[in-house]
Structure 1
Amino acid sequence: MNLKIKFVFLIFLYIFTTGTSKSCYWNSECVYKYFSSKTPYNSVRGDIRDSIVKLKGCEPVSVWALIRHGKRSPGIDYGRNMLEALVIRDYVVTSFSNGKSSMCSQDVENLRDWEVDTELFENTHGLTAEGYKEMKEIGKRIKEAFKELLTNLEDGSYTLRSAYGAWIENGVDGFVKGISSIPLMVEKSNPKYDIMAPYEACPKYLAGVKHNPGTYKEADMYQSTPEFKAIKERIKNLTGVQYPLTDMNVTSLYDLCRYTWSPINNNRSPWCALFTNEDLYALEYYGDLRHYYRNGYGTPMPKKFGQIPMADLYKTFVNAKAGNHRKLTTYFSHATMMDMVYNALEWFKDEIPLRSVYRDPNRKWRSTMTSPFAGNLIAVLTRCIIDNREDYKVVFYTNEQPATWMCDNGVCSWHEFENKFMAFSTGCEPPYANCDYYQQNVRNSPKSSAESNRYLTHPEYLAAKDRIHRRSGIEYSLTDENITALYDLCRYDWNAVEYKISPWCAIFTKDDLEVLEYVQDLNHYYRNSYGTPVNEVFGKVPLGDLFTNFESVTKGGGKKIVAYVTHSTMLDQIYMTLGLFKDSVPLTGANRDRDRKWRTSKISTFGVNFVAVLNRCDKQGSKEYNVVFYLNEEPIRSICEEGVCSWENFDTKLRQYVNTTIDFC
């Protein structure tokens, strides 16, 4: 009897639990809270007060930040579509009353009792109260994390600038109240052009990318995939709605879900109950595709725009390192700018481009993380004293969490930072190209051509000039410019690949060509190399990069090949740094040494190349490394004995260049 009762009880319990168990949104502990670029900040953020990277012997000296605006209301078109979708709520409630819906009672009740926030639809593109609070809290946390640096922000010690847009500018007000107890000056935004939204003033981007239907081809195609179509069927089955749902219906319901979700107040949106987690995964990916091809890696142009604020970051920290620093530099912009910056940095880049045919659940490009409301990129310059030596490091954070994939868990040495970010400042040009000091005092200075001009008055040159005049039969006197032009016709028209000698070279004798070659040697010598001391500093920059790359390989990382394509100027500067082709007596316009080492015809030719090869050798069970240098595909035997540098010799020669800076520029 006792056994029968237990058996009946178990049967009843099983029937009761299986008959009443239902997955409900309102009490689920595993709701999906990531909504592409409309994700509330609190759903993804860290807390920089807790995640701040503390480096021994270091103190922060400058903070640079790029912050997207906080949560805002939808634009006119999206808002109108959302309002039109509200009617679906009545269908859901009616369907549930008629027993045709499988939604939970509480979820339907929450949806029925939800009150329309008129502010959400009437104040289009307006910053919401939640968005204002997001910005204020970010400012507050940054101040607390760097309180010794940011407690007193005097005039001139900070920069605050907003891209154009009332919702962005209103958020700046919240940020200021969070980071300072006193009012701070905010630079006025420019409605026509701003470095924090440069793409808005570029017709090529607006017409060719942003407003080009082809940009959204992959996203549109994704809506035709079985995965996306399944969303409509699940919504219909869940709600009992009988009529076919369009893509616009689904998107509008999704917008109602994500725009009315409030993690700050811990309020889930009842509209999200219409979706399963699988639906939300797919809808998030739809947003990812749009961002990827409009702002990210799917289109080449956005990367250029992302380089602009990164150049500002580099210049800000270079100035700070030189002592002319701002404590705080903060810019406020759009999701578009955030995506473009990450594009320029090559962060969140997938090996395989995002496509409509397959949603990779482990993809790196997630607009939820790259551009949520109030999403941010923060860089902190720290000054360190290590072994009584001053050094600098840069720490990176995204959404208040360390960017652990950058350098060493988000911490970059100054050399690593400079190698990465200098290119943004110079447009990927060599270090001297945008150095005002070099351009004014060397390249464009009369001093650099003084010796070559002096040689133009030397009897040796004048004799060559006379020979050319007589051989050519020209009746009028040839100027130095005429001689140079004829020489250029000779050398530019010479085709060494096809072994075609230029007929213009017939004007010159061998002695003439040697004299004219020396004029060029003098120009290179004083403009790019030993004739001017500052050139040695520029040569250190790529050599520091060479050492860093090879050292990384010896530690198990690095790349198989690193190649840079540049100008003869850069090669000349590298030769100077390494002490190559250095004559015991400086070249001058008073005397042409026929046995000189500095010969541009051999070291600065078209296609000239400087190559270093790292070799790994197995000796008695241990690994050793050596480095061999080549110039124009021939070994350079003057750098190390027999042209082969042991790792110790290589380390001694090049490690010193790793932290080279060009602050004097």
Structure 2
Amino acid sequence: MTVKVIYTVINLFIVLYILPESFAFDSYDVRNYLSTRTPYRFKFNRDDSRLKFNGCKDAMVWMIIRHGTRLPSAKDIIAMNSTLKDIKYEILNVQKRKKGVLTKEQLKQFKAWSSVIDIEQEKFLTHEGQHEMILLAERMQNRFPNAIRNKYSNKTHQFRYTATQRAQQSARYFTIGLFDKRDAQNVTFLPAKKIDPVLRFYKHCDKWQKQVKKNPDTYKEQKLFGVSSQMNDTLKSISNRLGLDKIMNLDSVDLMYKTCGYETAWSKHHVSPWCYPFDGNSAENLEYYHDLKHYWMDGYGHNLTYRQACMAIKTMFEIFKTKKDPFATFLFAHSGTLLKILSHLHLYKPQTPLTGHAVNKERRWKTSDIDCFAANLAFVLYRCKDGDHVLTLHQERVIKLPMCAKELCPLQKLEEHFHDSIHNCDYSNMCSLDKDSSS
């Protein structure tokens, strides 16, 4: 399917509306708490000025990028096209009795709302996702003109993506942001692998699949929070805001929350009517509900989850150590990949494990902040007078790794800290169900 057709379909399948003045975007706005469906435009560093360090020159970059904004999964598409339409009519019916807090303008938007997404387009990259990739590439090139050259060569640039439409298209639009039209058309991409131990290592790690993803205990804390008094109060509050005669169940509210996220991400200038049922508090609680799942499945909940991310990390060290082509490596992957790598680097770890008893408002593990659409992680090698150093950026913001004294960290220091990741990353042994290695 061509880009033009996809864009046309996206404009047809959903009706989005101009953001009313009453829906101000402040620190407690719903759109700050959309978990992994949060738009990248809310989170990235807009300053793309060149990053210079005395006595140093940017020489190489290794970057892993979550695909841009996408369409929903097949499961969510079906629910939006059926369940959500039923909820819409229920909301409109009770409003005839002037119940709830929705304004006339908001009710008008609900009335006009529709969803006819083709299930065959599940998880396809959207027009906004294309735009995110182009602009991301332009900003990164501005920051690191020596490492990321604007003239393409398959010797100086390497592009790799997973075997998915959204990752492939993200890579293609990223190259449009880097090069002129002719060069972009001639870019060579490494063949996508059905089994990819670098970009989607967890998909084929049998031990992780059994002991983590398919283990009911992984979702214990999320389920606990789902039946907590805090969540019950949230469901009651949302139902009251809509003026409903009954309290909505968690599945329905979660569907509304996810749709709010998707439709907000798809358009810069409009807001989904499905954001109106939430205030900041209820959105924050739904965000925590999703954070619990990702913490225990993709983060610090199980040792094996982030240990297997060594498969990706060691490739970065291997490239930086050889000091040869390619100078710029760009990998296009997924939320699950990025979260596991962040955990492998000891980033955003809460002081205590997240539990379902109550929202941990002080946690650093917030997927809305660390894993929005198009989230990315970059390592930039600087050649300095006193040796090679590495600068780390998350969502284009310079960050200091926990094991480093400064943001610009000696490569040798990182190699020492991640010695096991580089030299003892035995994927077969780690992931085999026949092995006794710890999880």
Same topology, TM > 0.5: yes
CA distance in 1, matches of 2:335, 2:356: 22
Please give the residue correspondences for 1:448-527 in structure 2 after superposition, counting only pairs within 5 Å.
none
- Aligned counterpart, 2:415: 418
8 A contact 1:396–1:410 mirrored in 2: yes
- Aligned counterpart, 1:127: 125
- Aligned counterpart, 1:192: 195
- Aligned counterpart, 1:95: 94
Q: Which of 293, 300, 306 is residue 303 of structure 2 equivalent to?
A: 300
Q: In the alignment, is residue 280 of structure 1 matched against residue 276 of structure 2?
A: no
**Deviations, residues 250-292 of structure 1 (Å, cap 9, x unaligned):** 1111111111103752322221001111011011111111101
8 A contact 1:43–1:263 mirrored in 2: no
8 A contact 2:197–2:311 mirrored in 1: no
Shift of 1:81: 2.1
CA distance in 2, matches of 1:193, 1:384: 34
Please give the residue correspondences for 1:503-582 in structure 2 after superposition, counting only pairs within 5 Å.
none
CA distance in 2, matches of 1:408, 1:269: 44
- Aligned counterpart, 1:351: 351
- For residues 405 and 315 of structure 1, do their structure 2 counterparts lie closer, same or farther at Cα, with a shift above 3 Å needed? closer
- For residues 250 and 27 of structure 1, do their structure 2 counterparts lie closer, same or farther at Cα, with a shift above 3 Å needed? closer
Secondary structure, in 3 states, of the residue corresponding to 2:58? strand
AA aligned to 2:350 is D
**Deviations, residues 155-208 of structure 1 (Å, cap 9, x unaligned):** 211211112212111111111111122131111111133411111112222222
- For residues 132 and 170 of structure 1, do their structure 2 counterparts lie closer, same or farther at Cα, with a shift above 3 Å needed? same
Q: Which of 248, 251, 254 is residue 248 of structure 1 equivalent to?
A: 251
Moved runs in structure 1, 4+ residues, more than 6 A? none
8 A contact 1:48–1:142 mirrored in 2: no
Q: Which of 39, 57, 60 is residue 59 of structure 1 equivalent to?
A: 57
- Aligned counterpart, 2:398: 402
CA distance in 1, matches of 2:314, 2:46: 27
- Aligned counterpart, 1:227: 230
CA distance in 1, matches of 2:422, 2:365: 26
8 A contact 1:314–1:422 mirrored in 2: no
**Deviations, residues 567-626 of structure 1 (Å, cap 9, x unaligned):** xxxxxxxxxxxxxxxxxxxxxxxxxxxxxxxxxxxxxxxxxxxxxxxxxxxxxxxxxxxx
- Aligned counterpart, 1:151: 150
CA distance in 2, matches of 1:142, 1:367: 23
CA RMSD in angstroms, aligned pairs only: 2.0
CA distance in 1, matches of 2:287, 2:407: 27
CA distance in 1, matches of 2:357, 2:30: 23
Q: TM-score, normalised by structure 2?
A: 0.86
8 A contact 1:62–1:317 mirrored in 2: yes
- For residues 116 and 264 of structure 1, do their structure 2 counterparts lie closer, same or farther at Cα, with a shift above 3 Å needed? closer
8 A contact 1:397–1:410 mirrored in 2: no
CA distance in 2, matches of 1:168, 1:428: 25
Secondary structure, in 3 states, of the residue corresponding to 1:355? coil
- For residues 268 and 225 of structure 1, do their structure 2 counterparts lie closer, same or farther at Cα, with a shift above 3 Å needed? same
- Aligned counterpart, 2:363: 363
CA distance in 2, matches of 1:341, 1:281: 25
AA aligned to 1:71 is T
- Aligned counterpart, 2:134: 136
CA distance in 1, matches of 2:299, 2:258: 22
Shift of 1:117: 5.4
CA distance in 2, matches of 1:184, 1:273: 44
- Aligned counterpart, 1:337: 337
Please give the residue correspondences for 1:366-445 in structure 2 after superposition, counting only pairs within 5 Å.
366-385=366-385, 390-406=386-402, 407-427=404-424
Shift of 1:26: 4.3
- Aligned counterpart, 1:501: none
Secondary structure, in 3 states, of the residue corresponding to 1:229? helix
- For residues 57 and 110 of structure 1, do their structure 2 counterparts lie closer, same or farther at Cα, with a shift above 3 Å needed? same
CA distance in 2, matches of 1:205, 1:300: 10
CA distance in 2, matches of 1:140, 1:165: 24
Q: Which of 207, 211, 216 is residue 210 of structure 2 equivalent to?
A: 207
CA distance in 2, matches of 1:420, 1:325: 25
Shift of 1:226: 1.2
8 A contact 2:69–2:266 mirrored in 1: no
8 A contact 1:311–1:422 mirrored in 2: no
Greater C-alpha Rg:
1
8 A contact 1:48–1:145 mirrored in 2: no
Secondary structure, in 3 states, of the residue corresponding to 2:301? coil
8 A contact 2:60–2:328 mirrored in 1: yes
CA distance in 2, matches of 1:246, 1:27: 25
8 A contact 1:403–1:409 mirrored in 2: no
For these two proteins, the number of residue pairs brought into alignment is 397
CA distance in 1, matches of 2:387, 2:339: 31
CA distance in 1, matches of 2:240, 2:215: 36
CA distance in 2, matches of 1:364, 1:80: 33
Shift of 1:212: 2.4
- Aligned counterpart, 1:530: none
Secondary structure, in 3 states, of the residue corresponding to 1:49? coil
- For residues 264 and 415 of structure 1, do their structure 2 counterparts lie closer, same or farther at Cα, with a shift above 3 Å needed? farther
8 A contact 1:73–1:125 mirrored in 2: yes
**Deviations, residues 338-374 of structure 1 (Å, cap 9, x unaligned):** 1110111111111210000121111011112232111
Shift of 1:94: 2.3
AA aligned to 2:41 is N
- Aligned counterpart, 1:113: 112
Identity among equivalent pairs (%): 23
- Aligned counterpart, 2:7: none
AA aligned to 2:274 is W
CA distance in 2, matches of 1:115, 1:94: 16
CA distance in 2, matches of 1:356, 1:170: 37
Shift of 1:93: 2.1
CA distance in 2, matches of 1:408, 1:298: 27
AA aligned to 2:226 is Q
Shift of 1:331: 0.8
Shift of 1:405: 4.8
Shift of 1:25: 8.0
